[in-house]
């Protein structure tokens, strides 16, 4: 029982930390740079969550064989904890989906700005003064 509870609590803690970190960006506008920094800062947590998915699948298989050895109260507490972790996982998945859309929007904005910069550089290259277009001074003495 301790194995199931400790594993589920660990996953719950990971989900909570990630949700808290990614939810800090909520508001009227999402700063893409801050969101990128949050993802980079938490890439280790994200990789641990990915690793835990395989571990949770193994726990689910083990649960079928192990639950018969537990008393009803322990079984119900583990089931409630698993349900809670499942809901947290769903919330985290929705949050990550929303943040992915935010990052894609930020990427589109950067691409648009780069396109505008390239157009400005081309314009500047097209209006360079020619060699004969230099200031001419009139000699007032004659």
* pTM of the predicted model as reported, rounded to 2 decimal places: 0.68
pLDDT of residue 35: 78
Of residues 95, 98, 104, 80, the one with CA closest to residue 18: 95
Instruction: Write the burial class of residue 8 (CB in 10 Å: 0-12 exposed, 13-18 middle, 19+ buried).
Output: buried
pLDDT value, residue 43: 82
Residue with tokens 């930020």: 106
Q: Determine contact, residues 31/22, Cβ cutoff 8 Å.
A: no
Per-residue pLDDT of the chain (142 residues; tens, 9 = 90+): 677 788 888 888 888 888 888 776 555 556 777 777 888 887 888 788 788 888 888 888 888 888 888 888 888 888 898 899 889 989 988 888 888 888 888 889 889 988 988 888 777 766 666 566 566 666 655 5
């Amino acid at each position: 029982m301790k194995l199931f509870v400790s594993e589920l609590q660990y996953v719950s803690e990971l989900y909570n930390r990630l949700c808290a970190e990614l939810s800090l960006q909520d508001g009227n506008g999402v700063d893409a740079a801050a969101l990128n920094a949050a993802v980079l800062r938490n890439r280790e947590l994200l990789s641990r969550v990915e690793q835990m998915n395989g571990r949770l699948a193994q726990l689910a298989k083990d649960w079928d064989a192990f639950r018969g050895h537990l008393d009803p109260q322990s079984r119900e507490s583990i089931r409630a904890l698993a349900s809670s972790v499942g809901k947290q996982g769903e919330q985290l998945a929705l949050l990550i989906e929303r943040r992915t859309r935010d990052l894609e929007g930020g990427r589109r904005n950067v691409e648009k700005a780069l396109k505008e910069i390239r157009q400005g550089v081309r314009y500047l290259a097209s209006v360079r003064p020619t060699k004969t277009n230099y200031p001419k001074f009139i000699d007032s003495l004659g």
